[in-house]
Amino acid sequence: MEIERLADACGGLVWISERLFQIEGRLASDSAEGEPLDARTRTLLARSSRRHGQHAQWWRTALPDSPALAGAKRVECPTEAWEHLLGYIEDAAPADAVAALYEVAVPQLALVIEHLGHELSPVSDGVVIRTARMVAADLAEEQDDAKDVWNPPNFPSDGGIEELIIGFADDYREKRWPPLVTHPR
């Protein structure tokens, strides 16, 4: 993978991980408005929030430190689909937010990490490969834990989940892998 695309991918993953850290932390603290979440769900969210905070640090470490690549400036929303999804989760009632997290956000992030791994070279991308493996393992564990705590499908009644999933279709149709790699604006 070209270094610019790799920097964009890492920057997008920093942005996603930081937002998930914030959102899940807020939901876990039970400070969100609406019907409160049960203790098991809040515990899952608290643990996941801490992990996403750690992932953000790992991805930030993987950003190139070359002044020419301006790694810190690459930390931005990777695609409109991610911006819409995380905005929805932030604004949704707690139960709808958790459904969107475990039905859309975590599976989409796992898919991005999987496809990112296919484009990396062990010769030049070792740090990113190791980071991707650790994050993928954490996401798989989070998905397994969510099945025990958050019994899918718990779809919001307004059909918001389906719309969010469809939002990612454009990323895949354009064959951008990882789909979070930003294009010049």
Domain with 75, as residue range(s), is: 3-173
Per-residue pLDDT of the chain (185 residues), as tens digits, is: 788 888 889 999 999 999 999 999 999 997 656 678 889 999 999 999 999 999 999 999 988 777 777 777 889 888 889 999 999 999 998 988 998 999 999 999 999 999 888 888 888 788 999 999 999 999 999 999 998 877 655 544 456 788 888 888 777 666 555 656 554 44
Which token pair is 77? 């929303």
- Residue matched to tokens 């898919």: 111
The answer to whether position 91 is within a domain reads yes
Give me the pLDDT at residue 153, please.
53
The answer to whether position 183 is within a domain reads no
The answer to whether position 185 is within a domain reads no
The answer to whether position 179 is within a domain reads no
As a whole number of angstroms, the distance between CA 52 and CA 63 comes to 17
The answer to whether position 49 is within a domain reads yes
> DSSP H helical segments within the chain, as ranges?
3-28, 39-62, 80-91, 94-100, 106-119, 126-149, 160-167, 169-173
Give me the pLDDT at residue 67, please.
76
Give me the pLDDT at residue 185, please.
45
The answer to whether position 34 is within a domain reads yes
The answer to whether position 120 is within a domain reads yes
Domain count along the chain: 1
- CATH number, domain containing residue 129: 1.20.910.10
**Those residues with Cβ within 8 angstroms of residue 42's Cβ, 6 or more apart along the chain or in another chain:** 27, 28, 29, 30
The answer to whether position 181 is within a domain reads no
Q: Is the dihedral of CA 144, 145, 147, 150 positive or negative?
A: negative
Residue 136 burial by Cβ neighbours in a 10 Å radius (0-12, 13-18, 19+): middle
- Check residue 30 and give left, alpha or beta (phi > 0: left; psi -120 to 50: alpha): left
